[in-house]
Amino acid sequence: MQRKIFIVLSMSLSFILLPILSVFPQSDKSRANLVVRSQPSGALIYLEGEYDFVGRTPFVLPQNLIGTYKIKAIRNGYENWSSYINLTGDQKATILIRLSPKTKFKAAIRSLVFPGWGQIYSDRQTRGIILSFVQAGVTFFAVKKYYDYRNAIDHYNEAVSEYESHMRVYEEREKYWNILQDRDKDVNNADRERKTWAYIAAGLWFYNFLDAILFFPSYERSLYYQSTPAISARIVNGTPTLALSIPF
């Protein structure tokens, strides 16, 4: 009974897959014009030009492509790679892409240069964008408080000049002395606020740096193994077609 069921299922799959495989002709790798490999394998490849292709390495295009194409490689845990290639169509071409892994050190340097950049680099875009905006806001207030402090000093110096010019008259001397005391308080308050916002900005900057190191994601960098059906592209008589391959 089990054998009969297996035979029936096998025949059913054959009837289902046969029309599909006939619609998508199998690629002839001996005529391959472009072969893209990567270290490590399993990178997502984008080929953009007269025709656009998408696949994973090792990626084979069995047709004669002509012209300039932009090629991009993306893999989780590695830095994106892109370049331009010129294809003549009369010879085979093999491209080996060596991807650079993302590291804590690279993320930390980026966050040190610009807060939030290291988080975006390590695929934590939301956190990086939030930290960037918060740092920008805090830095804005720190700069504003610095200029408020400078203005307070200017007003204090003006009050000193006014007091010195009116100190001979007792009534005016007392008036301008009170103004001078108020300006002195304004300088002290402005200086305190300036230092507070400067400390907050510096602390947040340092937090960005530590966050890029301590919370750097643990990427899974195992070798890629394709166990699902894949579609490769080819051009026949100037017409783009697809080929379906099913690994067992």
Q: Tens place of pLDDT for every residue, the chain, 248 residues?
A: 444 433 333 334 444 443 433 333 334 444 546 788 999 988 999 988 888 888 898 888 766 778 888 999 999 899 999 999 887 777 677 889 999 999 999 999 999 999 999 999 999 999 999 999 999 999 999 999 999 999 999 999 998 888 888 777 777 778 888 888 999 999 999 999 999 999 999 999 999 999 999 999 988 654 444 444 444 444 544 555 444 444 43
Q: Which pLDDT score is estimated for 66?
A: 81
Backbone angles phi, psi at 78, to 5 degrees: -130, 155
- The alpha-carbon radius of gyration of the chain (Å, integer) is 34
Residue 13 amino acid letter: L
Residues 168-193: pLDDT tens digits? 777 777 888 888 899 999 999 999 99
3-state secondary structure of 172: helix
Q: What is the largest CA-CA distance in the chain?
A: 121
pLDDT at 7: 35
pLDDT of residue 53: 86
Contacts of 127 (CB under 8 A, 6+ apart): 116, 119, 211
